[in-house]
Structure 1
Amino acid sequence: MFSGTESCTAVIAADRKTKQLCKRLLPQQIALIDHADVDEMAAQSLLEAGVRAVINLSPFMTGRYPAEGARSLLQMGVPLYEWNTQAEHPRLIEQLDGAKVMIRNNTLFLHTATGWRLLDELVSVNDEAIAAKWQEAHARLDDTLSSFIDNTLQYAVREKDLFLKRLCKLRLKTRLADRHVVVVVRGKHYKEDLQTLAPYIREYRPVLIGVDGGADALLESGYRPDLIVGDMDSVTDKALCCGAEVVVHAFPDGRSPGEQRVRQLGLAYHVLPAPGTSEDVAMLLAFENQAELIVTIGTHTNMIDFLEKGRKGMASTLLVRTKIGTKLIDAKGVSQLYQPRWSWKLWGWCLAAMIVPVLAILAINPVARHAVQMLWMQWRTWAF
C-alpha cells in the first residue's frame, strides 16, 4: 500500500462491468470501475487478479445497505479512490482503458506524448469513511428491507402464473431423472463449499450444472460440468468448450442475447425461454426433469445477495424455491458451519498410532532388535 504522499504509476484497466474487467486485469494494474456498492465477490475477483489500486466513478459504499467489497479491499491494503463527484465524464472508461497514469497526492495524472498531464482530483477512501457508511447502512436497513419485501411480493403476484407453467421441454442428452444434481453459482464461499462437498460428489457422482461463471468454478475445482445454464455473460470460452451440454437462458419472449456468442463458438446448444434468474432456471430444469435431489452452491438467497446483484427483490427465487420444496438443499456456506480443528489430544493419538507398530516390529523381529542395539551402542560411544 502507498500513502497519499507517495506516487503510484501503472497502466489502467477500465470497464463498466467489474466481472468483465477482472477477466483481463493484470497484476499491479489500476482498476477503473463504475460500480456503486462494490460487493464481496467483486472485491475478491479484484484481489485474485492482483489489482494495485481501484478508482471508482461511483461510491464504493452508498450507505443504502452494508456492502462488503470496500472493507475487504481495504483490509488487504488496496488503496481506494473515488472520482471527483462534481465532474461528469461520460466516456472516461473508454478513454482511459490501457492508458498509463500516475496517482500522487490524491491527484491523477495521465501520461501523454508531451509528458504528464493533470487529469483530475481523486477522493481517497479510508477505513473511517467506510465505517461511517457502514453505520448509515445499518441505520437504514429496516427501510431497505421493507422496500425489498414490497418489491418481492408485487413481482411474485405478477409472475406467479409464469412459474406455475412448465418449462419448454428440451431434448437433453444429460439424464437428470432419479439422480442427484448439484447447481453451482459463483457466489460467496463457492470454493470452500465445493471442497467441503468433495466426498459427496465422489460418492454420488451427481449431475454438475454450472450457472454461467459457475462452470468455471467447477473447472477450477477439478470437475467438468455436465450442463452449463445461463445467459452466457460471465462464463469463459474455455468452460463453454469443455464438452458440457449448453442451455442458453432466454427472456420469456424468446430474445436471447447470449445465443450469438455460443453460435460463434460453433457449439451445439438449447435455448430455454423462462422468467427469473439463470440460477432459478437451472433449479427448475433439474426439478422438472425429475431429479431426485437438488443441491445448490453459491446461490443468492437473501436480501444482501440480491441487492449486490442490483436486484430490488427476489420474486422469482421465492417462487422457484417454494415450487421445488423438499427436493432442494442449499449448501451455501456449509464450509463455514464446521471446520475440523487439530488438538494436542488428536496429535497424541496419531503419534501413538505410528509408534505402536514400530515397537511391535522391534519386539518380534530379532534382526531389527539387533540393529537398534547396535545403533544404541554407537550413540553411547559418540555421546560419552
Structure 2
Amino acid sequence: MTDVETTSGTLSGTARVGRRTKDLTKRLTAGEVAFIDHRDLDRVAGESLVSTGVAAVVNASEFISGRYPNSGPARLDEAGILLVDAAGPEVMDLVPDGAEVTIDDGRILLEGQEVARGQIIDSAAISDRMESARDSIGSELRTFAVNTLEYIDKEADLAFEPLVLPELRTDFAGRHVLVVVRGHDYKEDLRALRPYIMEYHPVLVAVDGGADALLDVKLVPDMIIGDFDSLSAKAWECGAELVHHVHPDGRAPGREELQEQGKPYVEFIVEGTSEDAAMLLAYESRAELIVAVGTHATMVEFLDKGRAGMSSTFLTRLRLGPMLIDAKGVSQLYKGRVRRRDILLLVIAAIVVIFTVALVSDSLQLFLRTFWLYIRDLWYSITGRLS
C-alpha cells in the first residue's frame, strides 16, 4: 500500500499513469495518484477508480465537457477523492509512472518543479456542470436519435440474416442463460440474482469485464465473449470457453492479445456490440430464456461507452423479443429491512417451537420437572414454606 501525505491544500503520492482508465485500474493501489486522459468520465470507470482507493485523480481532459450529464466525477467526489481537471495532454508524458508527485492547488509538482496545471473541482463545481449538461441534453439527444435511425436503415437487413454459429462446447439448448455486462450497477444486480442462479443454474456468459464480476461473487463463467480488452489474469485462467466477437467487415479488436495468451478460442461473426453478440449467440443456440445484467439501454449509457447511437442494440432486442429479460436495476426493486413486527413474530415462533418440543420430548420434560423441584427447594430454604 502506498503512503499518501496530505497537508492543507496539498497532497503527495505515487503517480500511476494510463491512457485507458480500465487498464489503469488494474495497477492502482490505495493512496496513489491516478493520471488519466478520459473526457467525460463515465460512471463505471468512476466506480472502478473508487474501488482502488486512490487519493487523487488528475485528468488530462475535462471530467465533464457539458455534452451530456456523465456521473463518473460525482462518484469520485462522493468518495472524497481529489479531482484535478483539464491538466492538459502533455501531463501524460511529463509525469513518469511511479514517480512521487505533489498536487498543490491544481499545480502538478515533480521534484518541487511545476510540470502541469489543472483546476481542482469540488462538489459545487460538479453540480453546476452537471446542471448545465442537463440543460443542453436536447441537442445531444437529437444527434443520437439521428445516428440511431440512420444505422437502423443501413443495418436492418443484415441484423435479421441467418447467423453462422461457431462450434461451441457450451450447451445452451433448453437452458436459461445469464449474460453479465460491465454496466451500471452490474455488481449489485448480480448479487441480487444469486437466489435465481442457485435455483436455475443458468449458463453464465460474461461479456469482457463481466467475467471478473462473476468471479468476485464466487461464480465461474461458462463462456467469455468480446474483444478481451479488460480481462484480469484470474479471468484468463478461469477455464471459460472463449468466443471472439468479429465484425462482418473484418474488424477484430483484441485478436492479437488473444493469440498472445495462447488460449483456444472460436470466432463469432456478427454486427453490433459484444453484448449484442452474446445475446444473439444464446438465442441462436436455442436457449430457453436470456437474462441480462449490466446491459446498456439508455442514451447516457451508450454515450458513456463512446457510441453515437444504439441501432444494433435496438435491432437485437427486437429480434429476441420476449425471450430476453433485462434484470438491470433488480437490486433497487426491494431493499429488505428488519421491522418490529418481524422480530415479534420470530420471538413468538421460537416460543411456540420450544413449547411444542417440551410437550413431545420426555428428556426435556424430565429436565423441566427437575429444574422446577430445584427452584421449589431453593424457595423453601429461603422462606421456610413451600409454594
Letter in 1 for 2:43: E
What's the Cα RMSD here?
2.4
Aligned residue number for residue 368 of structure 1: 368
Q: Is the 8 A contact 2:40 2:65 kept in 1?
A: yes
Change (3 A) 1:380 1:267: farther
Query: Bigger CA drift: 138-147 or 19-28?
Result: 138-147
User: Does structure 1 retain, via aligned residues, the 8 Å contact 2:175–2:202?
Assistant: yes
Gaps of 5+ in 2: 383-387
Unpaired stretches in structure 1, ≥5 consecutive residues: none
SS at match of 2:25: helix
Q: 1:380 and 1:308 mapped to 2: Cα distance? A: 80
Deviations 1:236-278 (A, max 9, x none): 2321221111101122233423222222222111012221110
C-alpha distance in 2 between matches for 1:136 and 1:375: 77
1-structure distance, mates of 2:239, 2:187: 22
- Pairwise CA distance, 1:356: 2.4
Moved over 3 A (4+): 1-6, 359-364, 372-382
Structure 2 CA distance, aligned partners of 1:134 and 1:376? 75
1:97 maps onto 2:93 in alignment: no
Amino acid at match of 2:83: L
Instruction: Pick closer, same or farther for the CA change 1:170–1:10 going to 2, 3 Å.
Output: same
Which residue of 288, 308, 315 maps to 1:312?
A: 308
Q: Aligned residue for 2:121?
A: 125
Deviations 1:8-38 (A, max 9, x none): 1111111111111101111110011111111
Match of residue 160 from structure 2: 164
Q: Distance in 2 between matches of 1:242 and 1:260?
A: 20
| Equivalent position of 2:64 in the other structure | 61
TM-score by length of 1: 0.91
Partner Cα separation in structure 1 for residue 179 and residue 62 of structure 2: 33
| Cα gap change, 1:121 to 1:357, in 2 (>3 Å) | same
1:337 aligns with 2:340: no
Change (3 A) 1:160 1:380: farther
2-structure distance, mates of 1:381, 1:76: 66
Matches for 1:181-330 after TM superposition, within 5 Å: 181-330=177-326
Contact 1:212 1:229 in 2 (8 A): yes
Distance change in 2, residues 1:315/1:94 (3 Å): farther
SS at match of 1:199: helix
Change (3 A) 1:93 1:277: farther
Higher Cα Rg, which structure: 2
Report if the CA contact (8 A) 2:246-2:252 is conserved.
yes
Query: Paired residue for 2:49, among 41, 46, 58?
Result: 46
In structure 2, distance between residues paired with 1:123 and 1:30: 15
The CA deviation string for residues 147-179 of structure 1, in whole angstroms up to 9 with x for no partner, is 111110001111122212222221111111111
Between the aligned partners of 1:260 and 1:276, the Cα distance in structure 2 is: 20
Q: Deviations over 1:272-313 (max 9, x none)?
A: 222111000001101111111111000001101001011111
